[in-house]
Structure 1
Amino acid sequence: MSTSNASAASAAPKAPRNGGRRPKLTLPVILLIIAGGLALFSLVRVVSGANDLTSVGQVSGALQLAVPIGLAGLGGLWAERAGVINIGLEGMMILGTWFGAWAGFQWGPWVGVLMGIAGGALGGLLHAVITITFNVNHIVSGVAVNILALGATRYLSNFTFAEEPGGSSKQSPRIDAIDRITIPGLSDWLADLQDKHWFFVSDLAGVLGGLVTNLSLLTVVALLLIPVTYWALWHTGFGLRLRSCGENPVAAESLGVNVYKYKYIAVVISGGLAGLGGAFLAIVSTGIYQEGQTGGRGYIGLAAMIFGNWMPGGMALGAGLFGFTDSLKLRGGAENVHAMLLLIAILLVVAAAWQLYRKKYLPALISAAAAGGLFTWYALTDEVPSQFVDAAPYVTTLLVLALSAQRLRMPKANGMLYRKGQGK
């Protein structure tokens, strides 16, 4: 009897040691993935002849376009980790652009940055009052904040900017620029290396050169906010309590956590970060406030946060992807987007092979058919229509969200209405 039990036990499948969870990516694996992606970009650049695809200017432009998207996404992460959906990021960015420009042209760019943060935080506070105190649906409140911000800034511009020299009801006077830094010697050496157009080496030099050339000090601040957010939310007691409000607020309250307080803090910080993104647009990207200049970046930031699975690092990758796609139409335009057709086709071939390996034949067939269509499109044309170039960032947003939806896990209590003491 004991012998048969032992044999049955040995025949039974063993439970996975990690509890069925996916293994965490280690730093060497992440670096290997980045190197593989860069090698793929280099291959596409060599085949297509689009040498500007990974140039210093392209990377620098992509970084500048990615920062406001990333700041909005970071703001969304703070709010949603505390259980509050923040569709109002777009409106808070609008407030950041207006307040940042209003203070910036009068008292200097850094005062404008602080006022932009304050303007976005004001929008976050309004969203917090509506959703947390009055328990209004989070989506409805966010849409209301967006509409209110657009109307309020349009009204304020009529008797502020319109009366100033160089301003109008739709734009502010010119704002002084924030200092930019370039690492001398290293920047020139990387630019020379990139101009040689060597496989992989020149592409790596272009990426690194974009990170050390003509970099705004506010960009450096924005990049530092990513590890700061990770440390604050995942390595402090404050962050643990805040995240518990987004996972199970009833259990958090039973352990003595003031759920209302942490939700308020998170949503106000969320608004401040979105406002900082708006101030970046007005002060760094353009040097002027213009009506409608956010261009939906608050929504794209929300998409970047979802793509990143509510994690700062993933969100940063998503923002970088959207910023790079957006920058393609500014440098090289149709030529660069045409080269991206080849890149997407190769990625779809890889996806088809992976699906075949997992014995998912229908998705593999669909991926292979799409890859064939893109290869044909690339081979039979020299450029893509200008309308497709303009739509590329938004098409990328839809594709990324569609392809990444199956692996996402948002905070369990995200968007749920909560009242103090409801667990009693």
Structure 2
Amino acid sequence: MTRTIASPAAVRQVRYLTWIVVLAVLITVSLVRVLTDQNRMTTPGTLRLALIAACPILLAGLGGLWAERAGIVNIGLEGQMLLGTWGAAFFAYHFGAWGGVLGAIAMGALGGLLHGLATVTFGVDHIISGVAINIVGLGAVGYLAQTFFIGYEGGGPRNLSGYAVPREITIPGISSAARWVSEQRWFLVSDVAGAIAGVTTRLSLLTILALLLVAFTAWVLWRTPFGLRLRSCGESPQAAETLGVNVYLYKYIAVIISGGFAGLGGAYLAMVASSSFTTGQTNGRGYIGLASMIFGNWNPTGVLASSLMFGYADGISLLSNNGPLVHAILLLLAVLLLGYAALKLRRGERVTAIVIAGIAVVLFAWYLAVDSVPSDFTGMTPYILTLFVLAVAAQRLRMPAADGKPYRKGQAG
């Protein structure tokens, strides 16, 4: 199995271009905010809500990344997140906030273990097993809630409240100063300050943990021998086997960790995004997490960026009177897509550039034709954006070579 190692100059060029893209996006957002007079686009409250909405998606996406880097497609993230929501509520009620976090991870890991048992040991199709995990997870959470929570104070057959949650912190000085600069509505500066205020005000410790897990995942999978062996199982398990790697073991480890991450995402929903448990409260975020992993090109930093984008869309859909704000987002998407089309055209991808530019023109025409977007549509924004970005980015994606393929020890490559 060969590995392509990028030169230091190529790495520096990629980082340089990445910062240019980030700066261009920030300038575009600020410009649209000024032109549309929709200051709520970058207020600390909106961006804090976006971060809270992004973290469950991020954790599910990281969970999918661990599994798929080992060659297992984990469609069951949604069901594992559901198990995590119940685990967080039950264990937090009895053992405190961090007991709830550990309980959620354990419940999600149990779902991952079931998925591994089906796919690794018995060779069940990964998609079929994942769908079954989702169905089982939904049914199990409903049964467990009805069995345990009816007798609890603040509990019922479908919900539970009153349990401990991780505490929140505000960074003094930085938070208040950034909030003041944000309120001045200066071009670009106030938008950056709004983001700083959003991540330094009432920041849950679970949010910090979620962000640290991005760096942890990147370090383990790309900087350790363990990570190299695990990724080799997703690229060429037969070659890994010849080098003495226990492919079955690594696949099991990966899918259990994947379920644990998804369970932690469920804990975030039940303890940070909401202070109470409700059956079915994932609301499709496990699937969006899977989409963020794909759009992030099976890379931790890519998963983080795409999760923040999906979280921003999800957060906006939760705001009251969000029709004018989503209307401004149409203009933002049109401008960004035109820039992306220009980039594709420069690379010689003429057909792709024309398609993307056509979509941008349609969005711009929609923006000009209406003054506000109906509230029914704004609730669909995260899911429409999921389909949209996957369609636009499909040509640049590269999944692990053996992802989703059945493996049996000793079989020919």
**TM-score above 0.5:** yes
Summarize deviations over 1:153-187 as a string: whole Å, max 9, x none. 11111121112121111101322231111111111
Query: CA 1:240–1:357 in 2, change beyond 3 Å: closer, same or farther?
Result: closer
| Aligned counterpart, 2:206 | 218
The answer to whether structure 1 residue 395 and structure 2 residue 384 are counterparts is yes
Taking the aligned partners of 2:354 and 2:411, their CA distance within structure 1 comes to: 50
| Aligned counterpart, 2:300 | 312
Number of equivalent positions: 407
| Aligned counterpart, 2:335 | 346
| Aligned counterpart, 2:50 | 62
TM-score by length of 1: 0.92
| Aligned counterpart, 1:274 | 262
Paired letter, 2:324: E
| Aligned counterpart, 1:148 | 136
Among 374, 392, 398, the alignment partner of 1:409 is 398
| Aligned counterpart, 1:13 | none
The answer to whether structure 1 residue 298 and structure 2 residue 286 are counterparts is yes
Query: CA 1:309–1:322 in 2, change beyond 3 Å: closer, same or farther?
Result: same
**Paired residues for 1:12-411 under 5 Å:** 25-331=13-319, 332-358=321-347, 361-411=350-400
Taking the aligned partners of 2:325 and 2:251, their CA distance within structure 1 comes to: 43
Paired letter, 2:106: A
> Alignment identity in percent?
52
CA contact (8 A) 1:304 1:315 kept: yes
Q: How big is the shift at 1:376?
A: 2.8
Summarize deviations over 1:259-280 as a string: whole Å, max 9, x none. 1110010000000000000011
Paired letter, 1:304: S
Q: How big is the shift at 1:367?
A: 3.7
Query: CA 1:422–1:355 in 2, change beyond 3 Å: closer, same or farther?
Result: closer
Summarize deviations over 1:68-124 as a string: whole Å, max 9, x none. 100000000000000111001001000000011011122211100000000000000
Q: How big is the shift at 1:371?
A: 3.0
CA contact (8 A) 1:104 1:283 kept: no
| Aligned counterpart, 1:423 | 412
Summarize deviations over 1:198-236 as a string: whole Å, max 9, x none. 100100101111111110001101100001101101111
172-181 or 367-376, which moves further after superposition?
Answer: 367-376
CA contact (8 A) 1:164 1:173 kept: no
Paired letter, 1:70: L
> Could you say which structure has the larger radius of gyration?
1
Taking the aligned partners of 1:309 and 1:224, their CA distance within structure 2 comes to: 20
Paired letter, 2:397: L
Summarize deviations over 1:125-166 as a string: whole Å, max 9, x none. 111111101111111111111111111111111121112121
Query: CA 1:379–1:179 in 2, change beyond 3 Å: closer, same or farther?
Result: same
Summarize deviations over 1:374-420 as a string: whole Å, max 9, x none. 22322232211112101110010001111111111111111111112
Query: CA 1:29–1:137 in 2, change beyond 3 Å: closer, same or farther?
Result: same
TM-score by length of 2: 0.94
- Uncovered stretches (5+) of structure 1, i.e. residues with no partner: 1-16
Q: How big is the shift at 1:370?
A: 3.3
Q: How big is the shift at 1:353?
A: 3.1
Taking the aligned partners of 1:51 and 1:190, their CA distance within structure 2 comes to: 15
Query: CA 1:165–1:25 in 2, change beyond 3 Å: closer, same or farther?
Result: farther
Summarize deviations over 1:7-52 as a string: whole Å, max 9, x none. xxxxxxxxxx979xx8675433322221111110000000001101
Q: How big is the shift at 1:361?
A: 4.9
Taking the aligned partners of 2:69 and 2:240, their CA distance within structure 1 comes to: 13
Taking the aligned partners of 2:260 and 2:92, their CA distance within structure 1 comes to: 17
Paired letter, 2:368: A
Q: How big is the shift at 1:359?
A: 5.3
Taking the aligned partners of 2:356 and 2:398, their CA distance within structure 1 comes to: 25
Summarize deviations over 1:282-336 as a string: whole Å, max 9, x none. 1111111101100011110000000011010001111111000111122351121
Query: CA 1:357–1:232 in 2, change beyond 3 Å: closer, same or farther?
Result: closer
Query: CA 1:25–1:231 in 2, change beyond 3 Å: closer, same or farther?
Result: farther
Taking the aligned partners of 2:94 and 2:6, their CA distance within structure 1 comes to: 57
SS in 2 for 1:403: helix
Query: CA 1:365–1:306 in 2, change beyond 3 Å: closer, same or farther?
Result: closer
Taking the aligned partners of 2:344 and 2:410, their CA distance within structure 1 comes to: 48
Query: CA 1:102–1:388 in 2, change beyond 3 Å: closer, same or farther?
Result: same
Taking the aligned partners of 2:213 and 2:181, their CA distance within structure 1 comes to: 31
- Uncovered stretches (5+) of structure 2, i.e. residues with no partner: none
Paired letter, 1:123: G
Across the aligned residues of Structure 1 and Structure 2, the Cα RMSD in angstroms comes to 1.9
